[in-house]
Structure 1
């Protein structure tokens, strides 16, 4: 007889539409063309390595509380590469990031953290969640099997292992997933915490406030905007996130690193790259000067007005003369508000609210 397997289910929204895009860099107009398939996996790997402790502060506060912050985390990438676990069911289409991290517990012992990130999660029904729970279980047991004997021979205890699953596209669900295998009253049960990352969409103001001191909050904002919008719609949120970094007075190096991750996640269409780069240039000038000269402000207003009119025409069809005049005579702050409004607007009137 075959063993019976079951796991708890989590709901998730549909996957975001794809778009041909190019990556941008804050220090040059554009970077070499990327493959058509958008790769969210690599920016997550970089983001976790750059901001592991801030990430755990947001996503696993109980774990963060017992990590010795004075000891840098060690990323065991070679260890993970040597462990063979199936990537997913045939035709799955998801992207995964699996990181094994060695940290120091506050009691002086070592601990390992297995972080599984399901980046491009579509509708996560019971079957997919069951597979995810099984995958996490297989990783854990294989890590333990590989090192139990080695540590015993060295007279060392096997490090504690903490498993964490991050479902990027999931808005809600249980706080833990469970893998269970049982037959006639005997078997195994393995549960682990899961983060439903898209729940932050309902707590956006809180997330934006956290971004003032926690750079990983910026990473989460970029990933959520990448799920919500596609194509030219991504220009306004990308500019908004860039402005936020300067508003919160991040260092030049932090801004460079975070912009790279933002641009990597929010892949913009090639024809929108000049719009973004022009906006980024103005943001830098504004930060450097502390105020904007009249001529520069007029130039920024013209650029924003032109972009808004293009977006309005794309979304609602030909723009009448009255609306065109209103946009062209608007102040910079109004234009920026309307550019953000258009992302969720269902009618032309919705754009000009607020």
Structure 2
């Protein structure tokens, strides 16, 4: 699953009430938020195993209770679609009838289209064959259709998630604008008078979806740290986010160093002491996929010359 897909899944889970209030306020106002809502990932993958097996789908299934009806609960099915797919409406219908068959509960289906194709927003599946027909309609939303100004003024924090997703598409080829936008939006997020966990969830999404070069990332963080020195009220939120980001990067670096060491040990075990030049070339190899390839090659190569010939170092 891609980085953006994971970001969407995580932010929907961490900010689900805000998500529902933004996209489906009519439903959200009837939900009994005093009762615990539940993400039914296991159950969803049972009726849609292709979602568990494929990296193409961003889908969530949530069980919520309504204010009316005491213990009455319904299902909310959410799909975030980031690319054009002519079969998407059929998929929505297929999931709907599988859910209806399994749970026999009312279902609300929401499709959020986050791709760059403005005209792509299918909202129904139709079928007609020799006098037999059906039409299944679901709620469809296009990220690019929302106005920047309205999103910026919206007090619901999920509006800033939508704004970040929108701008990540619109200015993806203009890094200077991405730098200005990311700095402005992260500053706004840090100022928000919302819970700390909510702010951290928002920061994580924005940081991941608005991608910058390492140098530009450093400039953004330095600017935020300079503002920190002015004792702004959101310092604790920024510190916690920066700490989490640093820990994640440290873990990633640790994994890379461990993989580098495994490659070196495999070569030394099979072929004896290796030249410092080759050792250094392996140690500067940073990407995880490349290191995995080197480890497989180190275990299979007939000799050191064969390893070097195919390693691409």
Give how far 1:173 is off.
7.2
TM-score scaled to structure 1, two decimals? 0.58
Inter-partner Cα distance in structure 1 for 2:8 and 2:204: 12
The equivalent residue for 2:66 is 105
After TM superposition, give the deviation of residue 226 of structure 1 in Å. Answer: 1.2
Instruction: Describe the shift of the 1:252–1:186 C-alpha distance in structure 2 as closer, same or farther (beyond 3 A).
Output: closer
Query: Could you give the per-residue CA deviations for residues 237-258 of structure 1, whole angstroms, max 9, x where no partner exists?
Result: 1111111123433444433222
1:134 aligns with 2:90: yes
**1:186 pairs with one of 118, 124, 132:** 132
Q: Secondary structure at the match of 1:286?
A: coil
Q: Does 1:114 align with 2:90?
A: no
- Alignment deviations for residues 270-297 of structure 1 (CA, whole Å, 9 cap, x no partner): 222211110121233335389xxxxxxx
Asked if 1:50 corresponds to 2:14, the answer is: yes
**Given the superposition, is the C-alpha separation of residues 196 and 230 from structure 1 closer, same or farther in structure 2, using an over 3 Å criterion?**
closer
- The alignment covers a number of residue pairs equal to 227
Question: How many Å apart are 1:223 and its aligned residue?
Answer: 0.9
CA gap 1:85/1:189 in 2 versus in 1, 3 angstroms? farther
Q: 1:260 Cα shift?
A: 1.2
- SS of 1:179's equivalent? strand
Uncovered stretches (5+) of structure 2, i.e. residues with no partner: 235-313
Counterpart contact for 1:53–1:64, Cα < 8 Å: yes
Structure 2 counterparts to residues 175-254 of structure 1, below 5 A: 177-200=123-146, 203-210=147-154, 213-230=155-172, 232-233=175-176, 234-254=178-198
Contact kept in structure 2, 1:246 and 1:287, CA below 8 Å: no
Aligned equivalent of 2:202, options 258, 262, 267? 258
1:74 equivalent in alignment to 2:52: no
- State the partner residue of 2:102: 146
Structure 2: distance between partners of 1:78 and 1:289:
41
Give the number of the structure with larger relative contact order, counting CA–CA contacts within 8 Å between residues 6 or more apart: 1
In structure 2, do the counterparts of structure 1 residues 264 and 228 end up closer, same or farther at CA, with 3 Å as the change threshold?
A: same
Deviation for aligned residue 1:77 = 0.8
Output the CA distance in 2 between the equivalents of 1:184 and 1:76. Answer: 38
Rounded to whole Å, the distance in 2 between the matches of 1:235 and 1:259 is: 15
The TM-score, its normalising length taken from structure 2, stands at 0.65
Distance change (3 Å), C-alpha of 1:173 and 1:227: closer
Equivalent-residue separation in structure 2 for 1:209 and 1:72 (angstroms): 29
Cα distance in 2, alignment partners of residues 94 and 228 from structure 1: 24
Once residues 233 and 90 of structure 2 are traced to their aligned partners in structure 1, the CA distance between those partners, rounded to angstroms, is 55
**Structure 2 CA distance, aligned partners of 1:229 and 1:57?**
27
- State the alpha-carbon separation in 2 of the partners of residues 250 and 286 from structure 1: 21
1:267: how far off? 2.1
CA deviation after TM superposition for structure 1 residue 46, in Å = 0.9
Which protein is richer in helix relative to its size?
2
The answer to whether the 8 Å contact 2:5/2:58 transfers is yes
CA distance in 1, matches of 2:119, 2:30: 26
Alignment partner for residue 222 of structure 2, among 273, 278, 295?
A: 278
